Chains A and B, each alone.
Chain A
Amino acid sequence: MTTASIDWHSIVDRLIKKTQEETALWNATSVSDQYKLRLSDATIVLDKSSNPTQVWFRIEILNSQGVTIAGEQPEIFDELYNKLSDLFSMIEDKKLRMSETVRSIMKDLESDTVVGKKQPYDDDDKLPF
């Protein structure tokens, strides 16, 4: 597999831009921490794997026959690593609505109103003893 001719930085930059603009529709695959983006004649797969001390990102391109034709797993100090990390966070953010949820939490916590809801069974008066 030769990846020398692939300008990964350029591809990842465009992916980041389109993901930011929400014009790239990523989908989760069957395995956790892995997303796919279907293009007209190819698919891009972004994967995050980790052990207790390190996290890796791997980007792969599949051709129209589903064959992996190129892949890149940058080293941790590589600029591409940071870009893939940003892209992955961005995808997760969009998929899991993380930013929106955090904003909502902060809004609730900063307000003076009571937060949380009392459950009906928490009412001591209704206890039979």
Chain B
Amino acid sequence: MKKKIQYLLAIGTLFVLVQSSCKKDFLEQEVDGRLPIENIWNTTDRAFGFLNNTYTNLPNVYMRISGAMLATASDEAKHSSDASSIQDIFNGSWSPVNTVENVWNNHYAGIRKANLFLENIDNVPLQKRDNAQGVDLDKLKVRERMKGEARFLRAFFYFDLVKRYGGVPLVLKSLNREEDLASIPRASIDDCMNQILLDCDSAANRLPLAYTGSIPEFDGSGQTGRATKGAAMALKARALLYYASPLFNPNNNSTRWATAAAAAKAVMDLGSGSRYGLLPLSGSVTHNNIFYQATGAAQYHNEIIFSTSYADDNSLERNNAPLIVNGLGLTNPTQEMVDAFGMNNGLAITDSRSGYNPANPYVNRDPRFYAAIKYHGQTISQNDLVQPLNVAQGIDKLNSLNATRTGYYLGKFMSNSSVWDLRTVRANRTSVLIRFAEVLLNYAEAQNESVGPDASVYAAVEKIRQRAGLNPFRLPTGLSKAQMREVIRDERRVELCFEEHRFFDVRRWRLYGNSSVNIPISGVNVTLDNLFNTTYNYFTVENRMWSPKMYFMPIPQTEILKSNQLTQNPGW
């Protein structure tokens, strides 16, 4: 009996062994929570979601480059830390191995998404319906609109690359590993621009004017934030303006200016001229409200032509507010930026009639100055604290630990209501990528170059000065083309400051000529004597190295080395 039990046990053990070893699929994963790649193109939800995801590759102007704004690499501002990598752009260490700002991979990832979408979307089965076409007509409309979005986004990424590097490899289909990627050369600037314009036109034809329609999926308000017809046309106008500018138009082909002016004019004329306008300012709505939601400045207001989606955020305030209100004070506007703001009577501070008082430099300035700059003596309401800014003494004293390096802090974009101490209150903010003020300035610039300062040029610039609250806002009559060019450039510098325009504008204008120069950046040293008299001494914060090769950025060395065909920009 005992023996039998042993046999049975032994046989049982063996059975278990054989059983488990024969279970061949032990290593197969039952549920691994991962979806196969084919799933994306099986249903419209997933396929449309793929296009939605393409928007996540859009850039954001705030603190984008390792905690620094691109503005701190132009003459607009200085980053408070000398250790910030943004310094490398002008301290001589900018190079193909140290590109500082590298959008190459991100933008080509966005381009791949747009290409994949365009290649696959027509094969995605639409929901069946009992009608003439046999499919859901709303989905059909959405699909066509999304093709427009994909082409707009592709154009956006390409233009963002071209304005940095000039011609880049033109990839219009999704690439795979088997292809000879190393043999794809850079396309010419002309070819890139043509493709951008083609994509913009195609997008404009497919996209609605606004998302205020009656078909929720197609043009309902729930779709707000997607590219519109106006966005595609405005991107085209911007691309044409660059294409006409000296850097991209070395032979000064003047018809390009005319084309650029016409493209901008087309945006201004949308909806019989009523589709876009400038956000009206009032006591409670400041110039900064263009960028975050407030009473009187709704989300996606009429001035925004294209922007990233709104998100609650206070990191911008936390990073840039003065130390006294517990900010980190990272972006410090330069004296050059401050001096570019005129007086509230519309005159430049260099104009003898302006009323500018060097002993009291911050009175009666352009209202935009008070929004964009935090200066000595200004009352700061931030982080639930109200404090006068003192850059002469205390924690914010010039050059103190982590304090301002120029005597100023950033004010633009920032909401007074955001709080990050104990409580967390954020502003609902967007990063505006194209706004109507830029279109007006693009038009004025192109039209002035094309036909000279006609009435429409005056009107476009004055519209911006009027909205800013300058009184009088009129420009002096009888300006020459060259004088008007300077007026437009100054206006552009002030109106669009810190929005990643200046960095590229000085390049496309070839503002620094053909030789290597040092560009000094200045600040103010405010001192108080025993009687609390304030004196303002201006000093050079640093000299920035400029050389003509910097008109275009260096292509990352890693990309050059991986390719047989990719050529580096001259001088790098």
- Are A and B physically bound partners? no
Interface positions of A (Cβ within 8 A of B): none
- Chain B residues at the A interface, C-beta cutoff of 8 Å: none
